[in-house]
Structure 1
Amino acid sequence: MRLVFAGTPETAVPALEALLESRHEVVAVITRPDAPAGRGRRLTPSPVAERAAEAGVEILKPAKVKDPEFLDRLREIAPDCCPVVAYGALIPRTALDIPRHGWVNLHFSLLPAWRGAAPVQHAVLHGDDITGAATFQIEEDLDTGPVYGVVTEPILPEDTSGDLLGRLARTGAHLLVATMDGIEDGALEPRPQPVDGVSYAAKLTPDDARVDWSKPALHVDRLVRACTPAPGAWTTFRGERLKLGPVRPAPDAEPLAPGRLRVTKREVLAGTGTHPVLLGQVQAQGKQRMDAAAWARGVHPTDEDELT
């Protein structure tokens, strides 16, 4: 089939590469416009745009998918199908109707669970044991379309969202190619999503990523892992923001009041609403990321200090 792939972040690159190596022809790529990045805030193409440029594929960067010029060009290309991975914008009906097999999204959850922008983060945050990826026909409503296929993936006890998303991006890429194959062969018919089990995964903001030390250790652990690498979990120490890497619950440690610290030569424990957690890496404002013990040797926490 003639495909126009839509995607933007690094997460979408494995799927693009898999499609480039498949029996199908990727004739163009749709991605978000260049965005400021780095210290100089220079306009930088998306990871998908960079990979498409390497492959010599036409790149379309509409400010809005409903732009008439973009829609005219998509009609000229006349794709059979538009596979989508983390493109970052809703697709209007005027665009959905152009390819004869529609737009097919690779979504990183087992639909109808965790529809929305941050399915992997919410799966980690809520302590799910199993997640996965699904391919489905895009409709105008959010992630409601009938499903072509799924793959499952266990969530390991120390998985961050970044770890899990990396695995799903690779396994999901194979699922997306298999879905394109099945659509072309006429072997796949999408099935409506169940009406039960619907949940929504709103984007996690920096405010969501602030640790509340009065919560149980299990919640703190999940929140930090869910927000790693983005938007990044944090707390404050002496009035300044302190970024947190994954922590480890320490149920056998002596109790500490929420936010209070206990420092030894090799480790730093922080109190929660239940048992303490062992801090991993931290990053103070203007500093490099470092082990919590090295950070503590520099700031010398006192009995009056606490994380807030």
Structure 2
Amino acid sequence: MAVPSLDALVAAGFDVVAVLTRPDAPLGRKRVLTPSPVAVRAAELGIRIIHASKVDAAVTGQIAAAAPDVAAIVAYGGLIPRAALDVPRHGWINLHFSLLPAWRGAAPVQRSLIAGDDVTGAVTFLLEEGLDTGPVFGTLTESVRPDDTAGALLERLSHSGAVLLTQTLSALDAGRAAAVPQHGEVSLAPKLSLEDGRLDWQQPALAIGRRARGVTPEPGAWTTLDGQRIKLEPVVMRPGEAALKPGQLALAGKSVLVGTGSHPVELTRIQPSGKKMMTAADWARGQATLESVVFE
């Protein structure tokens, strides 16, 4: 999510003295140590990289040594202590993907989709010690599309937000930036856990669809069958279909339907435990009697 902002700042002529990002992390089944996307891009641009899982005294010292006038922060996910906040003379400007004070926290887009918001957006604000409490410099809005997943919406916001961040820093550099206190109802967006991806088939189809889209791609929507976890990609609303019991599966032509607390939904892709993702139709062909299958 930070790469578009880095590219936009460099293209706008800002002197990016360093990039602070997480350490290389093991990814994939082979757990290969892999740098973050923004670390890869920074290396390509020849920018110094500071790796840190948290901003402690040693990291604060590295930031101070880089002598930044301002620090731009995008999707970092950690708290910045007072000592580090005081290093840049213009402070830390955070690009946050919600319309603050709505959805303060680590998963604003995901929580917004799960809640069924029609409109979201992004803001730039002055980072404080509190959780996303600082005054706001700039705002943009983004309509939520019916088929939006968290991944798709974050991708759009990362690009439009990069423009907003660049505009904010340009205004700050020119002495024209003005931050205003946040106003409105506060809501929180804590980091998603694996359990947040579990679909409750007793819930109405609309709520299930929102949750499935909100947790895609991570941590992913899932259910269980015979005690085994099955990952699902976002479901499709099918309000005109005959009712099924919650969790009950059935075929409608080539479509695989599952019952909810209201009308059925259509499954698109399924990943059984230990297997690759496949179409729901291919998975269904491997079931002896689909009508006897019930998701738990």
Normalising by structure 1, we get a TM-score of: 0.93
For the Cα contact (< 8 Å) 1:264–1:293, is it kept in 2? no
- Aligned residue runs from structure 1 range 46-125, under 5 A: 46-68=36-58, 70-125=59-114
Aligned to 2:295: 307
Aligned to 1:215: 203
> SS of the counterpart of 1:27?
coil
Aligned to 1:260: 248
The CA deviation at 1:278 is 0.8
Matched, 1:45 2:38: no
| Equivalent residue in structure 1 for 2:169, among 160, 173, 180 | 180
> SS of the counterpart of 1:167?
helix
- Deviations along 1:83-123, one digit per CA (max 9) or x if unpaired, are 00011211000000010000000000000000001000011
Counterpart code for 2:269: Q
Aligned to 1:8: none
Aligned to 1:132: 121
- Deviations along 1:26-78, one digit per CA (max 9) or x if unpaired, are 0111111111112221322111111100000011113431223x222322221
Aligned CA RMSD, in angstroms, stands at: 1.2
> SS of the counterpart of 2:292?
coil
- Deviations along 1:238-284, one digit per CA (max 9) or x if unpaired, are 33211111111111100000000112441111000011001111111
| Equivalent residue in structure 2 for 1:27, among 10, 17, 31 | 17
C-alpha separation in 2, matches of 1:47 and 1:204: 21
| Equivalent residue in structure 1 for 2:4, among 2, 8, 14 | 14
* Consecutive aligned runs of 4 or more in structure 1 exceeding 4 Å deviation: none
Counterpart code for 1:239: G
Aligned to 1:206: 194
> SS of the counterpart of 1:53?
helix
Matched, 1:273 2:247: no
Counterpart code for 1:235: T
Aligned to 1:247: 235
**What percent identity do the matched residue pairs reach?**
53
C-alpha separation in 2, matches of 1:258 and 1:147: 44
> SS of the counterpart of 1:303?
helix
> SS of the counterpart of 2:26?
strand
Q: Report the more deviating stretch, 39-48 or 155-164.
A: 39-48
Q: Report the more deviating stretch, 73-82 or 185-194.
A: 73-82
C-alpha separation in 2, matches of 1:201 and 1:107: 12
For the Cα contact (< 8 Å) 2:95–2:122, is it kept in 1? yes
C-alpha separation in 1, matches of 2:76 and 2:22: 7
The CA deviation at 1:165 is 0.5
For the Cα contact (< 8 Å) 1:66–1:94, is it kept in 2? no
Q: Report the more deviating stretch, 111-120 or 297-306.
A: 297-306
Count of paired positions: 296
The CA deviation at 1:285 is 1.4
For the Cα contact (< 8 Å) 1:85–1:107, is it kept in 2? yes
> SS of the counterpart of 1:173?
helix
For the Cα contact (< 8 Å) 2:221–2:231, is it kept in 1? yes
- Name stretches of at least 5 consecutive residues in structure 2 with no aligned partner: none
For the Cα contact (< 8 Å) 1:260–1:306, is it kept in 2? yes
C-alpha distance 75-216 of structure 1, shift in aligned 2 (>3 A): same
Matched, 1:143 2:132: yes
Counterpart code for 1:25: D
C-alpha separation in 2, matches of 1:73 and 1:201: 30
C-alpha separation in 2, matches of 1:123 and 1:80: 33
- Name stretches of at least 5 consecutive residues in structure 1 with no aligned partner: 1-10
Aligned to 2:225: 237
The CA deviation at 1:210 is 0.6
| Equivalent residue in structure 1 for 2:180, among 191, 207, 213 | 191
